[in-house]
């Protein structure tokens, strides 16, 4: 589907220059993250699971104890053939939906070789079909039929991890086929670094774009199904859906709403930095397929074996917090998207800059310099608060996400400072707060 207009005069090295600057502190940092991500995700499970005695585990994790317990059979338990089959069927279902469900083809932005890729928009219908099939079987066969995500958690995690490794190896190897457009940041020549960052910009198999497919479907929709499975497991234990606690309904409801919203806004993906400039390597593969479903559903998994009753007022407060966050997140991103697309329906004030590009100074972008991050953070905390305060482990996501967005904000400001120079200083005077008004 890509319309090839690569200039006949461009040599490969002109089109794909060597990456000179490393991110993540170079190959060593990339290697550390490659190892750390799976370790963190498994630890989140074993550090907060019924079978290890709770959250944190009751087993005393002394060095000798770890040595004793990590027998071969323990290690082999990470592998579960049935879970692997379920995962492969799931992944195959997503691919099949992409092929057969109708969807509009939309154009992405013009890439630096002049190509314009086209993407099929049917993520939302894939999601709706998956939810309809799941809910339909729960209604017909009862919640027992949909608890396998809870019981096969580790096996599914291993399967998703292996899938991300296989994909990362495949796209890295395929990037050496002549004529490929490489990511500016992933062509260092160092195998560890390029494998991690992603060497090819838009790896595809025919018209099937690997990156955009992975970003929104097999991981994101699986996350929603896992949340539904956690509700079913609680329903089985407590004797029906009417006995399911408000906390798990709330967390799962918030997250499923967020997923549906992301899929509803699928075309917005094609103007993101990920799609336009980043390669697809192990970092995105493991992020999409492992991190999103298995880390983000930790609170609902915890609530299965440690149910919490919130009560109307607490639930209403958390509900308000989530939707305040959502409102800020959507309207701030909407104001900027409209403005960057030449529209200003709210007649917001702006600062003209020497670059010709303008900066909003009223509306959400007059409240702080990254109001969209504020919205995202409020939602992240609202997803964990229903788990109560018995353990910090269910707060892993917001505890990781807060410094992550603070760091992203600094990186973005450095970029804007370089681009806008003195005008950025003027903007900072007009809008003094970075993310949270009057606080930060
Ligand atoms: P942003 O949407 O925050 O965009 C930053 C860019 O906006 C700047 O580089 C600048 O680009 C432009 N800009 C800055 N100030 C203004 C202004 N006053 N008026 C107009 N334009 C301005 O980028 P992100 O990709 O970081 O975030 C997008 C969304 O994704 C956010 O909601 C964020 O919270 C979310 N996100 C979620 C993650 C997750 O894991 N859940 C991870 C990362 C992000 P220029 O001027 O050059 O156009």
9, pLDDT greater than 70: no
**pLDDT at position 415 over 80:** yes
Q: How many CB atoms lie within 10 A of CB 312?
A: 8
CA separation, residue 380 to residues 139, 255, 390 (Å): 30, 9, 18
What is the C-alpha to C-alpha distance for residues 69 and 67, in angstroms, rounded to an integer?
Answer: 6
Residue nearest to atom 13 of ligand 1 (CA): 359
- Cβ of 336 closer than 6 Å to ligand 1, yes or no, is yes
pLDDT computed for residue 68 by the predictor:
57
Whether residue 161 has a cis bond before it, omega within 30° of 0 = no
Q: Say whether pLDDT at 10 is over 80.
A: no
More confident residue, 116 or 341: 116
Residues 6+ apart with CB under 8 A from 261: 326, 330
Which segment, 5-19, 32-46, 402-416, is predicted with the most confidence on average? 32-46
Cα distance between residue 424 and residue 204, in whole Å = 39
> Does 435 score more than 90 pLDDT?
yes
Measured CA to CA, the distance from residue 409 to residue 415 in angstroms comes to 10
Q: What is the pLDDT of residues 282-333, one digit of tens each?
A: 999 999 999 999 999 999 999 999 999 999 999 999 999 999 999 999 999 8
Separation between Cα atoms, residue 154 and residue 45, nearest integer Å: 8
| Mean pLDDT along residues 228-232 | 98
**Strand intervals (E) in 55-156:** 104-110, 116-121
The pLDDT of residue 420 is above 80: yes
pLDDT on residue 343? 86
- Which pTM value belongs to this model? 0.90
Strand partners, 116: 3, 110
Q: Among the atoms of ligand 1, which is closest to the Cα of residue 366?
A: 18
pLDDT band for position 65 (cuts 50, 70, 90): low
Mean pLDDT for all residues in the chain = 91
Cβ(269) – ligand 1 distance below 6 Å: no
On the 0-12 / 13-18 / 19+ scale of CB atoms within 10 A, 241 is: middle
Atom of ligand 1 nearest to the CA of 408: 26
Give the atom of ligand 1 at the shortest distance from the alpha carbon of 376. 34
Does the C-beta of 118 come closer than 6 Å to ligand 1?
A: no
Which of the listed residues 292, 333, 371 should we mutate to test ligand 1's pocket, taking the one with most ligand atoms within 8 A of CB? 333
Average pLDDT score over residue span 338-354: 88
pLDDT of residue 4: 40
Q: Which of 65-69, 86-90, 245-249 has the lowest mean pLDDT?
A: 65-69
273 Cα–ligand 1 center, Å: 10
- Residue with the bigger pLDDT between 418 and 263: it is 263
Question: 344: buried, middle or exposed (CB in 10 Å: 19+, 13-18, 0-12)?
Answer: middle
Which of 273, 295, 335, 372 has most ligand 1 atoms within 8 Å of CB, for mutation?
372
Tens of pLDDT, residue by residue over 176-226, are 999 899 999 999 999 999 999 999 999 999 999 999 999 999 999 999 999
SS3 198: coil
Closest atom of ligand 1 to CA, residue 377 = 34
Q: Is 221 exposed, middle or buried, given 0-12, 13-18 or 19+ CB atoms closer than 10 A?
A: buried
Q: What angle do CA 254, 281, 184 make, to 5 degrees?
A: 110
Q: What is the pLDDT of residues 386-409, one digit of tens each?
A: 999 999 999 999 999 999 999 888
Whether the CB of 329 sits within 6 Å of ligand 1: yes
pLDDT of 382 > 90? The answer is yes
Q: Which two tokens stand for residue 1?
A: 């589907």
DSSP 293: I
Residue 60 pLDDT > 60, yes or no? no
Residue 6 has pLDDT above 50, yes or no: no
At CA 219, angle to CA 217 and CA 220, rounded to 5?
65
CA 332 to ligand 1: nearest atom: 32
C-alpha–C-alpha distance, residues 43 and 171, integer Å:
28
The confidence band for 268, taking pLDDT boundaries of 50, 70 and 90, is: confident
Q: Span 334-361, mean pLDDT?
A: 88
Encode 365-379 in three state secondary structure.
HHHCCCHHHHHHHHH
- Gap from CA of 366 to ligand 1 centroid (Å): 14
Query: Is residue 65 within 6 Å of ligand 1 at its C-beta?
Result: no
Q: Which atom of ligand 1 is nearest to the CA of 380?
A: 41
Cβ–Cβ under 8 Å, residues 380 and 397: yes
Q: Which whole number is the average pLDDT over 350-365?
A: 91
> Domain-by-domain residue ranges, the chain?
41-78, 79-309, 310-440
Among 255, 265, 336, 337, which is best to mutate for testing ligand 1, by the most ligand atoms less than 8 A from CB?
336
| Helix-helix angle 396-420:298-305, to 10 degrees | 170
Residue 231 and residue 63: Cα distance in Å, rounded?
36
pLDDT in tens, 90-145: 999 999 999 999 999 998 878 888 888 899 999 999 999 999 999 999 999 999 99
The string of pLDDT tens digits covering residues 313-325 is: 999 999 999 999 9
Residues 6+ apart with CB under 8 A from 257: 326
Q: Residues of the chain with pLDDT > 70: what percent?
A: 93
Cα separations in angstroms, 378 against 275, 345, 351, 387: 26, 26, 28, 15
CA 412 to ligand 1: nearest atom: 9
Angle between helices 246-264 and 123-141 (to 10 degrees): 150
> Taken in order 170, 171, 173, 179, is the CA torsion positive or negative?
positive
Could you say which DSSP state residue 291 is in? Answer: I
Give the span between the Cα atoms of 15 and 187, in whole angstroms.
Answer: 11
């Amino acid at each position: 589907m890509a319309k090839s207009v690569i200039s006949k005069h461009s040599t490969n090295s002109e089109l794909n220059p060597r990456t000179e600057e490393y991110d993540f502190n170079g190959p060593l940092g990339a290697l550390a993250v490659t190892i750390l991500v799976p370790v963190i995700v498994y630890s989140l499970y074993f550090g907060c699971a019924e079978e290890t005695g709770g959250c944190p585990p009751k087993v005393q994790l002394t060095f000798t104890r770890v040595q004793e317990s990590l027998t071969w059979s323990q290690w082999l338990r990470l592998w579960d053939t049935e879970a692997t089959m379920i995962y492969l069927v799931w992944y195959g279902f997503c691919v099949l939906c992409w092929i057969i469900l109708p969807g509009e083809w939309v154009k992405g932005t013009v890439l630096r070789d002049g190509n314009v890729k086209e993407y099929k928009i049917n993520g939302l219908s894939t999601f709706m079909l998956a939810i309809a099939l799941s809910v339909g079987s729960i209604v017909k066969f009862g919640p027992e039929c949909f608890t396998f995500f809870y019981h096969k958690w580790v096996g599914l995690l291993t399967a998703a991890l292996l899938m991300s490794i296989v994909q990362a190896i495949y796209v890295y190897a395929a990037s050496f086929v002549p004529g490929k457009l490489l990511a500016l940041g992933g062509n260092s020549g160092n195998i560890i670094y390029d494998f991690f960052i992603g060497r090819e910009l838009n790896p595809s198999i025919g018209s099937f774009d690997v990156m955009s497919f992975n970003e929104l479907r097999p991981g994101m929709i699986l996350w929603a199904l896992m949340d539904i499975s956690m509700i079913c497991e609680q329903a089985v234990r407590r004797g029906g859906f009417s006995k399911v606690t408000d906390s798990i309904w709330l967390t799962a409801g918030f997250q499923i709403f967020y997923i549906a919203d992301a899929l509803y806004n699928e075309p917005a993906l094609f103007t993101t930095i990920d799609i336009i400039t980043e390669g697809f390597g192990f970092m995105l593969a493991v992020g999409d397929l492992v991190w999103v479903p298995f880390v983000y559903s930790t609170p609902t998994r915890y609530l299965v074996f440690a149910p919490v009753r919130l009560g109307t007022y607490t639930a209403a407060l958390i509900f308000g917090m989530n939707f305040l966050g959502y409102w800020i997140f959507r309207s701030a991103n909407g104001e900027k998207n409209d403005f960057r697309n030449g529209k200003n329906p709210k007649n917001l004030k702006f600062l003209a800059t020497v670059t010709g590009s303008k900066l909003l100074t009223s509306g959400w972008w007059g409240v702080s310099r990254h109001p969209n991050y504020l919205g995202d953070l409020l939602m992240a905390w609202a997803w964990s608060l229903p788990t109560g305060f018995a353990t910090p482990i269910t707060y892993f996501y917001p505890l990781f996400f807060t410094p992550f967005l603070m760091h992203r904000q600094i990186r973005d400001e450095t970029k804007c400072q370089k681009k806008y120079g003195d005008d950025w200083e003027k903007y900072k005077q007009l809008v003094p707060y970075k993310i949270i008004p009057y606080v930060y």
